[in-house]
Amino acid sequence: VNTKLEWVLRRLTGGCDPGLKLHQQTVEVILTEVEDDTSVGLVSFIQTVLEPSVINTTKNFATVSFTLKVLCHFLIILPSIRSDPNLSSSALVLVQAIFKHKPGLYWLIKNGIWEKMLLPCLRSPSMFVQREGVNVIATFMLLLIDTPHFESLVKDLFIISDKFCELRQQMSKADGEELRQSSLCVLRIFKEVYTQTLGKVAVYSQIRKVVDTSARLIAILNYKIPVTTVSCSTDLLILNILHKFQEQLMGYGILEQFLLDSLCGEFVTLTRLLLEKGYIESFLRSSVNIHKYWMIMVQNLKETKNIDLTSIEAVLHIVTNFQVTPILVLYQTSLEEFYKECPEKMKVIAKWDEEIHSRINIKDDIKVEASKLEKQILETLDRDPKEAVRMAIVCISAITGANEYLNPTCAVTVFQGMVFLLGAQDTASSSIRYNTALQRAVIDGLRVLVEKFNIDWRKCFASVCLMAKLCDLVNIPGISTQVKVCTLKAMNSCIIGFIPPVMSMLVNSEDLEHNSVETMGRALTIYLGDREWEVRDSALETLITCMKLAKEKYPHFVDWMLRYKLNLAVMTALGDVEGYVRASAFTVLANIISIDKVYAELKAESLPHRSLAFVLREGESPVRRAAVTLVQELFLAGKYSEEEVNGLVVRVIQHSAEDQDDEVRMASLEFIHSHILCALNNSGMVDGEFPSVIFSKGKIIKLDKEKVRSRVHSVLTWFCERVSGNDNSNRGIREKMKAEKPIFVNVTRHDVNIPEDEIDKTISEILSSSSLESVTMIKRPFSESMDTSNLYSRSFLLTLDDVPSANPPLPLSCLLQSIDSLCQSKNTSQDDRHQINDILSLLDDILLDGDKQQSHADDQRLRDCY
């Protein structure tokens, strides 16, 4: 059927009368069967006809008209579509394709698709069809928002919602669950409509003409309903209040104080209602969305109506104070005994509370009412400590999840509250000392806020204490592995964000015992010896950050590391039982080997030779990759002698370049790239004067130094990306290396098994052939692992006998042909072909000196260069 339809479609584009007759005959044939496949084929057919490229052509008007006639017949099989989720999904896609065009939209209305298909989707047995139906219905309503049809659609949704509620009352709780989900779909439709029009279109009055949404939702909340329904209803109430404020604001054109007072008063009233009904959890979850909806409204009003509300934050501060209250309850409970001994602590909290309330610029009676509600929440949670802990976790999780929309000042308020709570861990009565979930929520929340808002001592004085409080967690007995990992991640973020201030000065401080960086050094020493590998790995990640800072601009971190002997702890981690820990240890070492005072001890531990040995013998690929990176850093820092580079390093990298793992091969190619550039630099090819170079075309040209330097860098970088498969355009044709031994090397695209002793013969055959398309892989001989019994010895020394002999190198002419074959790829762009020609010319001109014949391209000098 699909094939016939495609043929018909080609005839349709002509728009001739014989074609229309053919169309009608085809439709009659199609509609004689209503099989699933036929229906889906028809959907595809109509979608294709209604593509903009077809509709926008004048000669295709007859086609579109004919297609709409087909749709009329298609209505006949709508009942079967509703009962089949697969067809329902396809039909919804079809409806979306139709209502993108105004004639199609009115055709849908005229033919009752709203009643026959869209509304029934809300009762589909498939939740996926329900979800798609919500999106399609919301979009359908938004397209009709400026027409009389919109109010009738709103009325229909409320009627069907009432019908669902009526039917639920006649069913058991289990049987009524499907209807409850359908009722939720109706609420989600209105939520989507409200959200999409926020700050753009005034829909409050239009919907209110049909029904008072607030009164209806408040009536729903009077019943005992599930949390999901409460949350969705609360979101709708919030959006309804914002839309009411938006319409009033558009009417006045500027923000009047009484409008802001009215808005804040309505939110306070909503809060009181939810608390009286016992929906404190749903309120704390949904009230965070006020930040999101407010940001959307402010942005849209500024873009569409030129009304700027950026500086208006009173509503957000009221909501934030409600959300911080559960955190303060736990803090005050934890320090209740301490308050009696130190009343000054209460003054700190009182001053902070006064500061955050001073930001709310509204009528005093509304501020007083909001304060009463805060005290009500505090008293309610104070009576039940377990509930207070749960609500605090709910608040922190909700705020963390909505961090993209948080107001920066409100984020600082929440940050201060969480730092206060974290600081209460020292007391025996503290909830955070014993509750793992609360510990994780607080620490992760602090980390997210530090990363998102770059909170430092300038924005919040409490940030100065954060690092020390995180380090103090190591003293809590029985702290879980997850909390330790969260703590180390937060410490890492603090270091990157320079919390506490001027960290380099604190490292070099005379008061070494009490500053937070010294505390971090002691904590890292403990974490590096933890029983769980996740903790050891996270500690090394934190140390990596410190060493990057030490290497770049804060050398005092070096003395700090030596003072706590963390460098020796990293060397010990090279023998860890977990591969990820060993890989992280190599990464730390790669960042510190250029520091002379550190490298002296590392050299005494035979690090240069041990890193080469790890490249050869390590069983886990992430560790081999990290070891190759360390070898590259050692090479660039000049830690290998020329004899070691030529005799050991190059041979080891030759083997790692043919590793079974992509990442290891890529790291090896990066080393080769650096090695080639270094060799060119040492021989004057990059920084020195360039002599006359003979091109393959026979022309003698004097090259500009900067031009050649740029050319060498760009070509070699590009070539490494292409060979390593890092370039996405070539990823489709790149073969994956086989996992089994022996090791393989890619040459072209077809798999050929060749005996190991015929490698040279195979190379000759490749070179003599006119194309490389028939051969893809050359099997390399596999070398057995070396004896590593003394690898962890302090006096370990790698010799030539420990390194397997080098694999037979491929001739340079084979490389040239392999690169040339890239030109034949369909995925190769014109720019890539220019790059290929550049590298061919580069190899011909510089490596072959231009005056040698191709037959001499395989001498030992060129093998070494390759």
Quick count: other Cβ atoms within 10 Å of Cβ 407? Answer: 18
The neighbouring-strand residues paired with 701 are 693
- Assigned token pair, 499: 């919390």
Domain definitions of the chain by residue range: 467-594, 595-865
**From CA 443, how far away is CA 464, in angstroms rounded?**
15
Q: How far apart are CA 336 and CA 273, in angstroms?
A: 31
pLDDT attached to residue 220: 84
Burial class (CB in 10 A: 0-12, 13-18, 19+), 335: buried
Predicted local confidence at residue 596, as pLDDT: 84
Residue 492 · residue 541 · CB < 8 Å:
yes
694: β partners: 700
Helix (H, G, I), strand (E, B) or coil at 212: coil
CA distances from 769 to 518, 746, 762, 764, 858 (A): 68, 18, 11, 9, 17
Per-residue confidence (pLDDT) for residue 691, from 0 to 100: 40
pLDDT averaged per 10 residues, the chain (length 866): 45 42 44 42 58 64 63 61 71 78 79 84 85 91 90 90 81 76 90 93 89 87 83 92 92 86 92 89 88 93 88 89 88 71 70 81 88 88 88 91 90 90 82 90 93 83 82 88 94 78 50 68 91 94 89 80 88 90 93 87 87 89 93 92 86 83 85 76 47 35 55 62 51 34 31 38 43 34 45 62 60 54 62 67 53 44 42
Identify the sign of the CA torsion 302, 305, 311, 317: negative
Element (H, E) at 777: strand 777-779
Nearest to 737 by CA among 667, 660, 668: 660
CA 121 to mean position of chain CA atoms: 33
Specify the pLDDT at position 455.
84
DSSP state at residue 199: T
Structure letter (DSSP) for residue 58: G
Between CA 346 and CA 332 the distance in angstroms is 9
Q: Are 304 and 252 in contact (CB under 8 A)?
A: no
Among residues 273, 272, 213, the alpha carbon closest in space to that of 244 is found at 213
The per-residue pLDDT for 682 is 60
| CA pair distance 382, 613, nearest whole angstrom | 61
The radius of gyration of the chain's CA atoms, rounded to the nearest angstrom, is 36
- How far is it, in rounded angstroms, from Cα 623 to Cα 430? 42
Residue 488: the pLDDT is 95
Q: Tell the burial category of 17 from Cβ atoms under 10 Å away from its Cβ (0-12, 13-18, 19+).
A: exposed
Q: Give the angle subtended at the CA of 288 by the CAs of 272 and 324, to the nearest 5°.
A: 70
Per-residue burial over 432-450, b = 16 or more CB atoms within 10 Å of its CB, e = otherwise: bbebeebbbbbbbbbbbbb
Q: Is the dihedral of CA 38, 40, 45, 49 positive or negative?
A: positive
Strand ranges for 543-589 from DSSP E: none
First to last CA, the chain: 58
Report whether 614 contacts 577 (CB < 8 A).
no
Cα-flanking dihedrals φ and ψ of residue 825, to 5°? -70, 140
Both structure tokens of 606:
């035979």
Exposure string for 264-295, b = 16+ CB within 10 A, e = fewer: bbbbbebbebbbebebbbbbbbbbbbbbbbbb
Q: Cα–Cα distance between 310 and 337 in angstroms, integer?
A: 43
Question: Whole-angstrom Cα distance, residue 345 to residue 335?
Answer: 9
Angle between helix axes 516-527 and 481-496 (nearest 10 degrees) is 140
Long-range contacts: 427-433, Cβ < 8 Å, 24+?
Answer: 427/334, 427/335, 427/337, 427/338, 429/333, 429/334, 429/336, 429/337, 430/334, 431/330, 431/333, 431/334, 431/385, 431/388, 431/389, 432/330, 432/334, 433/476
Interatomic CA distance for residues 776 and 766, integer angstroms: 10
Q: Tokens 């829909």 appear where?
A: 203
The pTM is what? Answer: 0.73
Vertex 93: Cα angle to 91 and 94 (nearest 5): 60
- Are 326 and 395 in contact, with CB atoms under 8 Å apart? yes
DSSP string, 157-186: HHHHHHHHHHHHHTS-TTTTHHHHHHHHHH
**Helical spans, DSSP H, in 683-802:** 705-724, 759-768
Angle, CA 626 vertex, CA 624 and CA 627 arms, to 5°: 60
Cα-to-chain-centroid distance, residue 354 = 39
Nearest Cα to Cα of residue 91 among 125, 131, 46, 127: 46
Cα distance between residue 91 and residue 85, in whole Å: 10
For residue 582, the model assigns a pLDDT of 93
Compute CA distances 53 → 46, 47, 61, 91, 256, whole Å.
13, 12, 12, 21, 50
Q: How far apart are CA 134 and CA 783, in angstroms?
A: 62
